């Protein structure tokens, strides 16, 4: 198809390209902010470290609700110590439950540090004995090395007490530099901080933030009034993201009722046409397989399900590389080879007309239903160049946009040292995680709807074409 010979009413509109640029601009403006700052105010009352909140013991500081671990957290300090409080739900507490408080001494924002520059952590668990706290270094993910293993003395004390499905952690750490000369806390000196809640031996089932999400700052003043309200992007996504699934299910049910979609259509005349070349078919099924695996592993990590022997995160990352190495090159080649990109990526005025008419037909506002994916006997090609339904074009663009955001945020979380600019762009690790989760909810909702529409009788021929390459196309005479 020569794009220059399209009728005048089909002048190409580059709305999708403008949409991508606008989206990147909105993300930059909305999220380009510093990590959430948690202030440790000067204590009016020194807490007793016993895992029990006495009356008025923590009323002199605000509680901060952390959206990933779902814990309520508070800090305060005096001239000698940093005090911390954490309250979180634990329906079936065990002695192996733990709360982790992680610090980023060198400011590299690497999750749990590295062999060369490990991070510092306080681990609190009833399994540790009378004093529930131990100091540790973190030379990499899930590799805590306790100070006692290094022959060092810990000066941190803490207690964790659980009852009625709720755990309370109270702890204190000296402000002075620790036994390994790693971390000295001082007034107005920001330090990256992270939180973790889980159970020893459970691996992926723990909940944890990273070192790019929060910063703790010790301030001289005492707390007065109410804490500043901070928009919790991750919390909002966690709460409202599943509505993308509900909308997808509702749309499928409405389509079943309104369109009587499972009645097989009858066409008096058809012609056999090639619809997908071999490379496109291979790319499609690679994508289906890989995205299915990524969806399952993503759900496993989201809901802390111990699938794949606790290797969900690694399999998720390997699948992302499969998309990068196999799917994208094959998909790009197949679109360029036969000029498919012109029909799938470029939006025309005719697409707008067809989309609006289909929507109006679905809502019962018109009986007109624009033909698409049908053969025009007069022009010897697809009628009005509508090889694909106009609604498939936004799907392709959504896939492209989702792939870019998935890739940037996913690889940034997996390899933070290689993608520091992503954290800068989005204003910290919590926003990176939230955006990744938001696209996950939207993508899985669209994925579900796409699978449903592929299976309705109207599309059986086109579904066969993604396997064999060819399908029978209805013929119309214009």
Task: Report pLDDT digits (tens) over 371-391.
Answer: 878 888 888 888 887 888 888
pLDDT score, position 400: 83
Of the residues 230, 263, 296, which one is the last residue of a structural domain?
230
Residue 465 C-alpha from the chain's centroid: 33
Three-state secondary-structure class, residue 421: helix
| Residue 247 placed within a domain | yes
Alpha-carbon Rg for the chain, nearest whole angstrom, is 28
More confident residue, 5 or 196: 196
Contact present, 16 and 347 (Cβ < 8 Å): yes
Distances (CA, A) of 291 to 53, 316, 322, 461: 47, 9, 10, 23
pLDDT at 30 over 80: no
Dihedral sign for Cα 350, 351, 352, 357, please. Answer: positive
Percent of the chain with pLDDT over 70: 86
DSSP 23-78: HHHHHHHHH-SPPEEEEEEEPSSPPPSSS---TTSSTTS--EEETTTTEEEEEEE-
Both 25 and 144 in a single domain? no
User: Averaged over 97-104, what is the pLDDT?
Assistant: 91
User: Averaged over 470-476, what is the pLDDT?
Assistant: 86
User: Averaged over 317-328, what is the pLDDT?
Assistant: 89
How many separate domains does the chain show? 2
pLDDT score, position 147: 92
DSSP 91-110: SS--TTEEEEEEEETT----
pLDDT score, position 9: 40
DSSP state for residue 170 in the 8-state scheme: E
pLDDT score, position 271: 87
| Residue 439 placed within a domain | yes
Q: Residue written as tokens 């001494």?
A: 105
What is the residue-averaged pLDDT of the chain? 82
Q: Which two tokens stand for residue 329?
A: 């090159």
More confident residue, 154 or 225: 154
pLDDT at 5 over 50: no
2 band by pLDDT with thresholds 50, 70 and 90: very low
Alpha-carbon gap, residue 98 to 71, rounded angstroms: 12
pLDDT at 79 over 60: yes
How much of the chain is helix, strand and coil, in % rounded to 5?
A: 45, 20, 35
pLDDT at 3 over 50: no
Alpha-carbon gap, residue 389 to 409, rounded angstroms: 31
Of the residues 200, 230, 260, which one is the last residue of a structural domain?
230
User: Averaged over 52-69, what is the pLDDT?
Assistant: 90
Both 249 and 225 in a single domain? no
Both 92 and 167 in a single domain? yes
Both 146 and 168 in a single domain? yes
User: Averaged over 321-350, what is the pLDDT?
Assistant: 81
pLDDT at 40 over 90: yes
28 band by pLDDT with thresholds 50, 70 and 90: low
Longest dimension (CA), the chain: 88
More confident residue, 74 or 114: 74
Q: Which two tokens stand for residue 258?
A: 């309104």
Both 189 and 53 in a single domain? yes
Distances (CA, A) of 289 to 258, 402, 444: 31, 17, 14
Three-state secondary-structure class, residue 378: coil
| Residue 300 placed within a domain | no
Both 55 and 10 in a single domain? no
Alpha-carbon gap, residue 298 to 285, rounded angstroms: 19
Of the residues 175, 196, 230, which one is the last residue of a structural domain?
230
More confident residue, 442 or 5: 442
260 band by pLDDT with thresholds 50, 70 and 90: low
φ and ψ at residue 387, rounded to 5 degrees:
-65, -35
Dihedral sign for Cα 49, 54, 56, 62, please. Answer: positive
Helix or strand (DSSP H, E) at 199? strand 191-199
CATH number at residue 42: 2.60.40.1190
264 band by pLDDT with thresholds 50, 70 and 90: low
Q: Which residues of 347-381 are buried (b: 16+ CB within 10 A; e: fewer)?
A: bbebbeebbebbeebeeeeeeeebebbbbbeeeee
Both 135 and 247 in a single domain? no
203 band by pLDDT with thresholds 50, 70 and 90: low
pLDDT at 281 over 70: yes
Q: What is the dihedral of CA 189, 431, 143, 82, to 10 degrees?
A: 30
Q: Which two tokens stand for residue 97?
A: 């439950």
- Residue 439, C-beta contacts closer than 8 angstroms, at least 6 positions apart: 402, 405, 406, 409
Alpha-carbon gap, residue 17 to 396, rounded angstroms: 12
User: Averaged over 227-242, what is the pLDDT?
Assistant: 78
34 band by pLDDT with thresholds 50, 70 and 90: low
Both 20 and 55 in a single domain? no
| Residue 303 placed within a domain | no
Helix or strand (DSSP H, E) at 272? strand 270-274
DSSP state for residue 113 in the 8-state scheme: B
More confident residue, 385 or 228: 385
Both 185 and 126 in a single domain? yes
Domain of residue 460: give its range.
Answer: 3-31+235-277+338-476
| Residue 306 placed within a domain | no
List the beta bridge partners of residue 38.
216
Alpha-carbon gap, residue 158 to 173, rounded angstroms: 9
User: Averaged over 326-345, what is the pLDDT?
Assistant: 80
pLDDT score, position 19: 59
Kindly report the pTM of this predicted structure: 0.74
311 band by pLDDT with thresholds 50, 70 and 90: confident
Contact present, 100 and 123 (Cβ < 8 Å): yes
Contact present, 393 and 354 (Cβ < 8 Å): no
Contact present, 373 and 386 (Cβ < 8 Å): yes
How do residues 162-171 score in pLDDT, each as one tens digit?
Answer: 988 899 999 9
pLDDT at 415 over 90: no
More confident residue, 465 or 386: 465
Both 211 and 359 in a single domain? no
Please name which of 232, 198, 239 lies closest in space to residue 214, comparing C-alpha atoms: 232
Both 346 and 377 in a single domain? yes
| Residue 329 placed within a domain | no
Q: Residue written as tokens 């409202």?
A: 240
| Residue 210 placed within a domain | yes
pLDDT score, position 51: 94
Both 133 and 271 in a single domain? no
**Pairing relationship of beta strands 36-42 and 214-218 according to DSSP bridges:** parallel
| Residue 22 placed within a domain | yes
Alpha-carbon gap, residue 141 to 49, rounded angstroms: 29
247 band by pLDDT with thresholds 50, 70 and 90: very high
More confident residue, 113 or 45: 45
């Amino acid at each position: 198809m020569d794009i220059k010979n399209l009728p005048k009413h089909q002048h190409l509109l580059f709305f999708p390209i403008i949409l991508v640029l606008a989206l990147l601009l909105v993300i930059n403006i909305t999220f380009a902010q510093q990590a959430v700052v948690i202030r440790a105010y000067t204590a009016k009352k020194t807490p007793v470290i016993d895992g029990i909140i006495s009356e008025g013991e923590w009323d002199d500081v605000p509680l901060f609700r952390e959206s990933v671990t779902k814990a309520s957290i508070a800090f305060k300090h005096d001239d000698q110590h940093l005090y911390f409080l954490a309250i979180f739900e634990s329906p079936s507490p065990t002695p192996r439950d733990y709360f982790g408080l992680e610090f980023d001494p060198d400011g590299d924002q690497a999750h749990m540090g590295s062999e060369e520059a490990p991070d510092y952590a306080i681990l609190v668990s009833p399994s540790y004995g009378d004093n529930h706290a131990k100091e540790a270094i973190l030379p990499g993910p899930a590799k805590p090395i306790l100070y006692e293993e290094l022959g060092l003395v810990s000066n941190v004390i803490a207690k964790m007490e659980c009852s009625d499905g709720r755990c309370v952690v109270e702890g204190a750490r000296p402000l002075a530099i620790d036994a390994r000369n790693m971390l000295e806390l001082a007034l107005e000196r920001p330090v990256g901080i992270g939180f973790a809640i889980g159970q020893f031996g459970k691996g992926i089932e723990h909940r944890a933030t990273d070192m790019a999400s929060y910063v703790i700052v010790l301030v001289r003043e005492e707390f007065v009034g109410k804490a500043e309200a901070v928009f919790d992007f991750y919390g909002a996504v966690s709460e409202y993201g599943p509505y993308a699934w509900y909308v997808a299910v509702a749309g499928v049910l409405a389509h079943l009722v309104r369109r009587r979609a499972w009645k097989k259509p009858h066409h008096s005349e058809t012609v056999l046409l090639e619809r997908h070349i071999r490379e496109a078919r291979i790319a499609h099924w690679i994508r289906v397989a890989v995205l299915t695996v990524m969806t399952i592993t993503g759900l496993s990590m989201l809901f802390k399900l111990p699938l794949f022997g606790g290797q969900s995160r690694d399999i998720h990352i390997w699948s992302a590389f499969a998309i990068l190495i196999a799917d994208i090159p094959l998909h790009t080649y197949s679109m360029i080879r036969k000029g498919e990109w012109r029909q799938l990526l470029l939006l025309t005025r005719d697409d707008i007309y067809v989309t609006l008419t289909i929507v109006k037909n679905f809502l019962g506002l018109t009986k007109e239903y624009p033909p698409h994916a049908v053969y025009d006997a007069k022009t010897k090609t697809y009628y009005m160049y509508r090889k694909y339904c106009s609604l498939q074009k936004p799907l392709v663009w959504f896939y492209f946009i989702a792939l870019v955001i998935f890739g940037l945020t996913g690889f940034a979380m997996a390899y933070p040292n290689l993608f520091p600019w992503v954290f800068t762009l989005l204003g910290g690790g919590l926003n990176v995680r939230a955006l990744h989760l938001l696209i996950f909810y939207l993508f899985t909702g669209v994925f579900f709807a796409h699978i449903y529409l592929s299976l309705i009788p109207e599309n059986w021929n086109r579904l066969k074409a993604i396997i064999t390459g060819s399908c029978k196309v209805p013929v119309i005479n214009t």
